[in-house]
Every structure is written in structure tokens, then in C-alpha cells.
Amino acid sequence: MELPLLLQEFAVEGRLVTLQPLGNGNVNDTYLAVFRNTFTETQLVLQRINGKVFPTPAAIMSNMHKITAHCHAKLEKELDTADRVWQMPRIVQTRDGRDCVQTDDGAYWRVITLIPSARAYDRAQNAEHAMECGAVLGHFHHLVADFDPTSVQDPLPGFHVTPGYLAAYDATLAEPKAAAKLDASMEARRCARFVENRRRLATVFQDAVDRGELRRRMVHGDPKVNNIMIDEFTAKGTAMIDLDTVSAGLVHIDFGDALRSICNPAGEEEQNLAKVRFDEDLCLAFCKGYMAEASDFLTDADRAYLYDAIRLLPFELGLRFFQDYLAGDVYFKTRSPEQNLARARVQFRLCESIEARERSIRSLIDSL
Ligand code: GN1
Ligand code: MG
């Protein structure tokens, strides 16, 4: 179906004046749609949910409906006492009251509100930006802290289960095609050695949960820097976007994922590995911003595992990129054949940089 025609199914006023690709998401297809009438303009986000990644798009939408309803009510209630107007995208329903549309090809499409006068960056800009990112994640954790985790379905079974990614990697490597791909590339073989030397890392959080040291709570799941909106006028953080993976998990996953993205000023797509490093000033700024919003969330046990989270998440994401490269780029969107391999190398390099700074990162965490 033509996209402008599809948009007509949603309850939007005005005439469509432009429809263009938006952002750099690695999973869903995202467009900006601008509608105008004589006196107003409405800017919206049209998204095709990636059905190869999310097995049950309808569940994703039902989760989003419940989570945003909870958070919007809380935002309204706290508006008068808040230091800023925090925002969160809202689902724009269809004219007949549905949260999304399924087209004949089976794809699920949804429309959500754009956070106006705000933007997300692919890389941390400076310490102030990192601090605002921390504040947004901390405030998000505050918003979902009293949401009942059992009322949402698992959006993506196996998401952030590192041993599962390792098993998928092993299964891929058992395929002759993947093994040949590994054989053909010195860089890929280097990545494989990197993984072999860190296999034991994978179970650190499963073990901690099994021992009863850490408990699950509502988390975002994908709090990387370009999912955090910054107000263009005030330069303050204003919203967390990309809510598909919000579910019960460990706060460590969010911490580690945000930091692996924010503390690598070179970004995820850097070609020159020499530029990839873990920046502790950005880390400290992020943590300060987070603590100002959510310091009471972190127990001593949580703190004890923060370093492990910071080290694990780039390992896990690198492993996911590397496995996808070997499997023929089936999960993450790519623009060139070696892109997932290059992305994996960046994450592994970042992980090495974190390992080299272990003592200093641990004392930074202790100082929080
Ligand atoms: C994907 O869709 P996007 O780009 O916000 C991925 C994250 C990765 C990220 C790496 C559902 O996020 O887990 O950290 O790419 N999301 C999913 O850029 O797999
Ligand atoms: Mg995103």
C-alpha cells in the first residue's frame, strides 16, 4: 500500500505535506510525516515494525499502550513540581480506534507523536549532553518504577540474554557458509578470538539473579544515545523514545547499554578503531545526571555489578553484530556488506578500552 494512503487510516487532521525517512534506527523503518491545515502543523512518526525482529508486533503495541498510559498520567500529575516538562511519545490511533494497521503483506505500521523541537544525537556531544542523557534515563526509571511488570508481554524473547547470543553464535559458526566467511577474513578471525577469550563473561548476570543478588524491574532495554531526545531550546533532556523493548529486566542492562553508547564519542559506525575509547568524563557526567533523578534506585548490590554491566554490554552488542555478520546480515539493517563486522570491531574495541580502565571505572562508581 502507498504510504500516504496508509496514513489516511490514522486519525490525523490536515493535509500531508511531506513524508521522509527519519533517524538511523537499526531495526524498524521510520518516517517523518508532516500534516498541515490553515493554522496548525502536526509532525508525526510513521513506523513499520520489523516483523523479523519482533515476533509479535501486536504485543509490542499493547505493551506500548499500557506503558505510555501509565507514564503520561504520572507526568501530568508531577508536572507542577517538575523542573522541566518531561515528554513521552503518544500512540496516534486509527480512525476506528486501533493502535496499528496491518497491511496485506503482513507488515505492522503505527503512528506516534514526534517530540517537537527536540533532537537525538548519534554521539555524545559533550559532558553536559551526557549528563542530560543520564537525567533522562533516571527519570524514565522513575516513571516506570511503579508499573506492574507482569502486565506486559515479553517483547523480544532472548533480548539481552548474553548466553543465548553466544549459543546463537556457536550455531551460526557450525554452518559451512559462516565458517567460510570467518576463514576468509583476518578481522573476523580476530573477533572470534576476542569472543573465545571472554566466554565466561556471558553468564555474570544470570548467575547474580540465580543467587538472588539482583532483582528485576522495569527497564527501557535500548537506551542508546540516539533514543534520548534533547530539547533544542533548553538543551535539557526531555524524552526517552523507542519504547518497543520496555519490559522487566535488570537496571544494569540499561546502564551498560547507555554507557557503551554515550562514553564512546566516536560512535557505533566509526571506521578508525584508534578513535574508539571509553571516555570516563562522559561516564561520570552521565552517572551524575542519572543519580540526580534516581539515586535511590541503586542498591549496594546493584552498584557492585555496575562495572560488569559496563564491560558486558559492548561485548554482548559486538557479539550480536558479529553473529549477524556471519549469518548474512539478517537482523540489523546494513548499507554495506562489511558493516556488521565493522560495528562488531568497534564494540569489541570499546570493551577492551573498558577492561584497560577497570580500576579507574570501579573507583568512579564507588564515588557515586
Ligand atoms: C538496535 O533500533 P535501534 O537502532 O534503536 C537494537 C539495540 C542495539 C542497537 C545498536 C530491538 O536499536 O539492541 O543496541 O540497535 N534494538 C533491538 O545500535 O535489537
Ligand atoms: Mg532507536
Residues 332-363 have pLDDT tens digits of 999 999 999 999 999 999 999 999 999 999 99
Q: Which three cell numbers stand for residue 40?
A: 496548525
Count the residues in the chain.
Answer: 368
Same domain, 36 and 142: no
Please give the distance, rounded to the nearest whole angstrom, from the Cα atom of residue 10 to the centre of ligand 2: 22
| Model pLDDT for residues 101-147, shown as the tens digit of each residue | 999 999 999 999 999 999 999 999 999 999 999 999 999 999 999 99
| Model pLDDT for residues 11-40, shown as the tens digit of each residue | 999 999 999 999 989 999 999 999 999 999
CATH assignment of the domain containing 106: 3.30.200.20
Task: Write down the mean pLDDT value for the chain.
Answer: 96
Same domain, 103 and 189: no
Same domain, 134 and 97: no
Same domain, 178 and 29: no
Is the predicted pLDDT of residue 43 greater than 90, yes or no?
A: yes
Please give the distance, rounded to the nearest whole angstrom, from the Cα atom of residue 120 to the centre of ligand 2: 10
Same domain, 71 and 164: no
CATH assignment of the domain containing 179: 3.90.1200.10
Domain-ending residue, one of 50, 83, 114: 114
Please state the φ and ψ torsions of residue 97, each to the nearest 5 degrees: 85, 20
Same domain, 150 and 259: yes
* Residue 68 domain boundaries: 3-114
Same domain, 192 and 227: yes
Same domain, 216 and 96: no
Q: Rounded to 5 degrees, what angle do the CA atoms 257, 294, 248 make? A: 55
Is the predicted pLDDT of residue 1 greater than 80, yes or no?
A: no
Residue 240 forms part of a structural domain = yes
Nearest ligand 1 atom to the CA of 54 is 11
Nearest ligand 1 atom to the CA of 245 is 11
The CA–CA distances, whole Å, from 233 to 80, 230, 335 equal 20, 9, 33
What is the domain count for the chain? 2
Residue 120 forms part of a structural domain = no
Same domain, 46 and 141: no
Residue 119 forms part of a structural domain = no
Same domain, 180 and 247: yes
Write a three-state SS string for the chain.
Answer: CCHHHHHCCECCCCEEEEEEECCCCCCCEEEEEEEECCCCEEEEEEEEECCCCCCCHHHHHHHHHHHHHHHHHHHHHHHHHCCCCCECCCEECECCCCCCEECCCCCEEEEEECCCCEECCCCCCCHHHHHHHHHHHHHHHHHHCCCCHHHCCCCCCCCCCHHHHHHHHHHHHCCHHHHHHHHHCHHHHHHHHHHHCCHHHHHHHHHHHHCCCCCCEEECCCCCHHHEEEECCCCCEEEECCHHHCEEECHHHHHHHHHHHHCCCCCCCCCCHHHCCCCHHHHHHHHHHHHHHHHHHCCHHHHHCHHHHHHHHHHHHHHHHHHHHHHCCCCCCCCCCCHHHHHHHHHHHHHHHHHHCHHHHHHHHHCC
Same domain, 166 and 260: yes
pTM of the predicted model as reported, rounded to 2 decimal places: 0.96
Question: Is ligand 1 within 6 A of the CB of residue 25?
Answer: yes
Nearest ligand 1 atom to the CA of 27 is 2
Residue 122 forms part of a structural domain = no
- Taking residues 293-316, report their average pLDDT: 92
Same domain, 102 and 161: no
Domain-ending residue, one of 87, 114, 141: 114
Question: Is ligand 1 within 6 A of the CB of residue 242?
Answer: yes
